[in-house]
Amino acid sequence: MTVKVRFFAVLKSLVGKSELSLDVEKGISFGQILGKLKVDFPALDKIMKEGKILVSVNQDVVGADYLLKDGDEIAFLPPFAGGSATH
């Protein structure tokens, strides 16, 4: 099955792409795929250790034991900075 992975803002330049498609075996958990992505992208592993990156699946927060389904979308979200420049 295939899952889509998206990277936003600063993560795009760190990883070198904005999205990718991954062919993974059925029954793989969110935690397992996170581990695989950290190996594939050491820069991602490094920044995630700082604890500021939120990772969503289908735009929601899920646990490491969530079993991915075909077509799921994983997104790596750095700290948000919306709003105005005037604090």
Partner 1 sequence: MTQEFIRIQTDDFSVENETIKLRDTSKRIGGIVTFLGTARDFSKGQEINKMDFEHYPGMAEKRLGEIRDQALKDYDIIEVTIIHRVGEIAVGENIVLIIVGAEHRQDAFRACSWCIDELKRITPIWKKETTPKGVVWVEEHP
Which residues of the shown chain bind partner 1 in the complex (CB under 8 A)?
6, 8-10, 52, 56, 59, 75, 77-87
CA distance 52 to 68: 23
- Minimum Å gap between C-beta 58 and partner 1 is 9
Q: How far is the CB of 51 from partner 1 (least distance, A)?
A: 13
**Which is nearer to partner 1, 39 or 69 (by Cβ)?**
69
Confirm if 7 and 18 have CB atoms less than 8 A apart.
Answer: yes
The number of residues making up the chain comes to: 87
Buried-exposed string 66-84: b where 16+ CB fall within 10 A, e elsewhere? bebeeebebbbbbeeeeee
Which of 25, 81 has the CB closer to partner 1? 81
Nearer to partner 1, 29 or 56 (CB): 56
